[in-house]
Amino acid sequence: MLRHKRGLFMSTNLRITSLEKRINSAINLAFNLVVQRDSKLMLQDSLTMDTLATVTLIFLPVATVGTVFGSQFLGLDTGSSPPQLEVAKNFWIFWVVLAGISICICFMTVIVRRARLGRIETWQRRA
């Protein structure tokens, strides 16, 4: 009778150990699935940022140089012996406008980023 109870106890102990391992495996699987989903989202976000950075890297310097040289702020003095580049007296306006636009873009970026983070947090709460 005692041997039977001991065998029953050992059997129950082995089943509990087995169930504990199965539960840990299920938890690890769930964790890995969540990490995999998050990795896919981060990859998509990373690809979007890479595309945006590449387009900016290509077009921003070209646009800036074209704008400055196409404006009335710079001119070529052909009256001097070697032609020289002249800068207009009100060239400072260019820098003031540039600083104002840059500050506005920075503020808009912060606002859009906060809104996007809010949407991500809402999405995560639903998931």
- The string of pLDDT tens digits covering residues 64-109 is 877 877 777 777 777 777 878 788 787 788 788 878 888 888 888 7
Give this prediction's pTM: 0.45
pLDDT in tens, 22-77: 999 999 999 999 998 888 888 777 777 877 877 887 788 778 877 877 777 777 77
SS3 content of the chain, % helix, strand, coil (to 5): 80, 5, 10
Rounded Cα distance, 125 and 127, in Å: 6
Q: How do the domains of the chain map onto residue ranges? A: 1-60, 90-127
Q: pLDDT: is 9 or 75 the higher one?
A: 9
Q: Which residue blocks in 71-91 are alpha helix, DSSP H?
A: none
